Amino acid sequence: MRRIKVTLAYEGTEFHGWQVQPGLRTIQGVLQEALEGLENGPVLVAGSGRTDAGVHALGQVAAFSMKNPIPAENLKRALNQVLPKEIRILTAADCPEVFHPRFDAVSKTYEYRIWRGEICSPFLQRYVHHHPFALDVEKMIEAAPVLEGEHDFSAFAAADERDILGHSKVRRIFSSHLAIQGDNLTYRVRGSGFLKHMVRNIMGTLLEVGKGNLTAAGLEDFLKPGQSIKAGPRALAQGLFLMEVEYPN
Q: Closer to its own copies at the Cβ: 127 or 156? A: 127
120-179 positions binding its own copies, by CB under 8 A = 120-123, 125, 127
* Polymer length in residues for the chain: 249
Indicate whether 192 belongs to the interface with its own copies (CB under 8 A). no
Q: Please calculate the CA angle 222-223-227 and round it to the nearest 5 degrees.
A: 60
Regarding 87 and contact with its own copies (CB under 8 A), the answer is yes
What is the smallest separation between the CB atom of 162 and its own copies, expressed in angstroms?
A: 33
Minimum CB separation from its own copies for residue 118, in Å? 9
CA distance 75 to 48: 20
Query: Quick check: is 221 catalytic?
Result: no
Q: Give the range of 113-121, 164-172, 177-185, 197-205 binding its own copies by CB under 8 A.
A: 113-121
Question: If binding is defined by CB under 8 A, does position 9 make contact with its own copies?
Answer: yes
Measured from the CB atom, the residue of 90 and 158 that comes closer to its own copies is: 90
At its nearest, how many Å lie between its own copies and the CB of residue 125?
4
- # binding residues, its own copies (CB under 8 A): 18
**What does R_g of the chain's alpha carbons equal in angstroms?**
19
Indicate which residues carry an active-site annotation.
Answer: 52
Residues in the site for its own copies, rule: CB under 8 A? 9-11, 56, 80, 85-90, 119-123, 125, 127
